Amino acid sequence: MWDSLWINCNLCTMNDAENDDGLGIINNGAIASTAGKIVWIGEANKLPDASEKLAKEINDLNGSWITPGLIDCHTHIVHGGERINEFNMRLEGANYEEIARAGGGIRSTVKATRAASEQELFDKALKRAQSLQEEGVTVLEIKSGYGLNWENETKQLRVARKIGESLPLDVITTYLAAHTIPEEYQNDGDGYIDSIIEKLPELKKSGLADAIDGFCEGIAFSPKQIEKLFKAAGDLGFNLKLHAEQLSDLGGATLAAKYGAKSADHLEYVSEKSAKAMLKSGSVAVILPCAFYFLNETKKPPIDLFRKNAVPMAVATDMNPGSSPCCSLLLAMNMACTFFKMTPTETMRGVTLHAAQALGIEKTHGSMEIGKVTDLAIWGITHPAELSYHMGFNPLQELIKDGRQIIQR
Ligand code: DI6
Ligand code: FE
């Protein structure tokens, strides 16, 4: 007996075995779920006889489309304060690096995050998570990185975990203490990296973080410093990720690949050598078009290079108060197409299959296949490409998490 059966729908399975169009489309399909897992999927006319009697509940979708629940694989939604003053400064001509060097930027959010209580951080982050969820997101990565000391970094991670416990949403947490050098360490980046490394075993024990991330950039940490962090974190069994080549090419993506990182993110300035290394290591290129847009950048990530080298591309919001105050994964998909000329099929893969790979959960999430979790987004659309096409319009009709309906619109 199945718990639920969805019929009269078109499926965008993201499973190549179904259809090698890059989306795994099945027109007039059906999908069944038991105990939160997919137990049957295929063309409706191949359903076993008397399947109406096989399911406790049948949902007739009247021609709607089903995709896997979307995955936002790069966010900083837990943070204190906003950065509207910097927005104004940039409109008047200052750039992101200048503001950061003048003590604004990440450090100003660090002040606000340290000052905020756990409850305050939670209340704000919950709204952001809900707004992502309203657009079909069922898995969300959340980074720390605005505490920059043990007490406040773990405060952010506890809030992130609590978001996952409070909403029907899977939260993957990432420890980004190596986001920038805190004031207490001024010009001692090496000393700060050592202080992070010292706490990694305790972090591992706490279970608060699934991955370790860093910001490899002139205004943050050098490849040498990141390498030291990656060695220690990798030895402890953490997944690795890296903000790399956002503002310049320091070879961060090559380093990420060398340590088998799940992803390297941003990558506007990435080299061909790094792209090749990423293919070898299976690292995903996480494309963050909202940060590119909001900072008014002109250098675009080399999408053709990733295509040519068959590097999987994910797309994410990078939701954060400084470079991407964007809570819409659908808008990120749209911008990936308009700015970077990714195809709607590539962006769709970027928020499902490849986003799952960037988080190391591709065995259970990111496509609709027998045995994977029943995370389904149900849309009133004519084709999945429509999800990359609209701006400021949300065609979500229903969201199913672990087989249960959690949103109906
Ligand atoms: N790159 C980014 O775009 C965010 N972090 C990072 O390393 C921006 C963070 C911020 O400006 O608060
Ligand atoms: Fe980021």
* Domain match, 28 and 156 both: no
* Domain match, 152 and 275 both: yes
Tell me if 158 is assigned to a ligand binding site: no
129 alpha carbon to ligand 1 midpoint, in Å?
18
Q: Which ligand is nearest to the CA of 215?
A: 1
Query: What pLDDT is attached to residue 296?
Result: 92
The atom of ligand 1 lying closest to the CA of 176 is 7
* Domain match, 296 and 281 both: yes
CATH number at residue 268: 3.20.20.140
* Domain match, 102 and 218 both: yes
The atom of ligand 1 lying closest to the CA of 96 is 11
Tell me if 367 is assigned to a ligand binding site: no
CATH number at residue 62: 2.30.40.10
96 alpha carbon to ligand 2 midpoint, in Å?
14
* Domain match, 131 and 178 both: yes
- Cβ of 80 closer than 6 Å to ligand 1, yes or no, is no
* Domain match, 140 and 255 both: yes
- Cβ of 174 closer than 6 Å to ligand 1, yes or no, is no
* Domain match, 195 and 243 both: yes
Query: What pLDDT is attached to residue 17?
Result: 86
* Domain match, 281 and 165 both: yes
Tell me if 322 is assigned to a ligand binding site: yes
Q: Give the chain's domain count.
A: 2
Query: What pLDDT is attached to residue 100?
Result: 86
* Domain match, 63 and 78 both: no
- Cβ of 246 closer than 6 Å to ligand 1, yes or no, is yes
Give the C-alpha distances (Å, rounded to integers) separating 242 from 192, 227, 256: 17, 11, 6
Query: Dihedral of the CA atoms 250, 106, 100, 140 (nearest 10)?
Result: 50
404 alpha carbon to ligand 1 midpoint, in Å?
35
The atom of ligand 1 lying closest to the CA of 105 is 11
Query: What pLDDT is attached to residue 260?
Result: 98
Domain's final residue, options 359, 380, 399: 359
Q: Which ligand is nearest to the CA of 320?
A: 1
Tell me if 19 is assigned to a ligand binding site: no
Domain extent for 14? 2-68+367-408
Query: What pLDDT is attached to residue 140?
Result: 98
Q: Tens place of pLDDT for every residue, the chain, 409 residues?
A: 999 999 999 999 999 888 999 999 999 999 999 999 999 999 999 999 887 788 999 999 999 999 999 999 999 999 999 999 999 999 999 998 889 888 789 999 999 999 999 999 999 999 999 999 999 999 999 999 999 999 999 999 999 999 999 999 999 999 999 999 999 998 899 999 999 999 999 999 999 999 999 999 999 999 999 999 999 999 999 999 999 999 999 999 999 999 999 999 999 999 999 999 999 999 999 999 999 999 999 999 999 999 999 999 999 999 999 999 999 999 999 999 999 999 999 999 999 999 999 999 999 999 999 999 999 999 999 999 999 999 999 999 999 999 999 999 9
* Domain match, 58 and 74 both: no
Query: What pLDDT is attached to residue 50?
Result: 82
Tell me if 133 is assigned to a ligand binding site: no
* Domain match, 389 and 311 both: no
* Domain match, 39 and 180 both: no
